[in-house]
């Protein structure tokens, strides 16, 4: 669990959990919107998949971005 404050945050650190999880030997990532993506062969590949997902979301026009 991440227990550090993020830039711009004030007050107590809210509960956070990892975006990555493993089922059997396959890895997945989850988004704030509740979307699970996978399976990936390793956590490293799941991390790459999340980075790609976030890159695509940032390219969307602001009115179409996921919140």
Sequence length of the chain is: 67
Q: How many CB atoms lie within 10 A of CB 57?
A: 14
- Residues ≥6 apart with Cβ < 8 Å to 50: 19, 20, 29, 37
Residue pLDDT, tens place only, 18-54: 899 999 999 999 988 889 999 999 999 999 999 999 9
Residue pLDDT, tens place only, 46-65: 999 999 999 998 898 877 66
Q: How many CB atoms lie within 10 A of CB 29?
A: 23
Q: How many CB atoms lie within 10 A of CB 2?
A: 11
Structure tokens at 56: 């695509």
């Amino acid at each position: 669990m991440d227990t550090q404050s993020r830039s711009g945050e004030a007050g107590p650190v809210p509960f956070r959990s990892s975006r990555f999880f493993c089922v059997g030997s396959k890895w997945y990532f989850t988004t704030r919107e509740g979307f699970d993506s996978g399976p990936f062969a390793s956590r490293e590949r799941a991390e790459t998949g999340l980075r790609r997902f976030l890159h695509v979301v940032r390219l969307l026009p602001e009115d179409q971005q996921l919140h």
